[in-house]
Structure 1
Amino acid sequence: MAEQTFVIIKPDAVAGGHVGNILARYEDAGLRIVALEQRTIDGEFSDRHYVEHLERDFYPPLRVFMTSGPLVAGILQGDDAVARVREINGATDPSKAAAGTIRADFATSTRENCVHGSDSVESAAKEIALWFPGR
Structure 2
Amino acid sequence: MAQKSTVTPTPIAKVHAPGNRKRGRTLLLIAAGLVAGIAGGAFAIRMLVPPGEPEPAKEPQRQPAEILPREEPVEISTRMRPGEWTEESLQAHVEDYQRRIRDMGAKESQIVTNVERTETGAARVVVSWDRARD
| Higher Rg | 2
Whether TM exceeds 0.5 here: the answer is: no
Bigger proportion of residues as strand: 1
TM-score normalised according to structure 2 size: 0.29
TM-score normalised according to structure 1 size: 0.29
Relative contact order higher in (CA < 8 Å, ≥ 6 apart): 1
Bigger proportion of residues as helix: 1
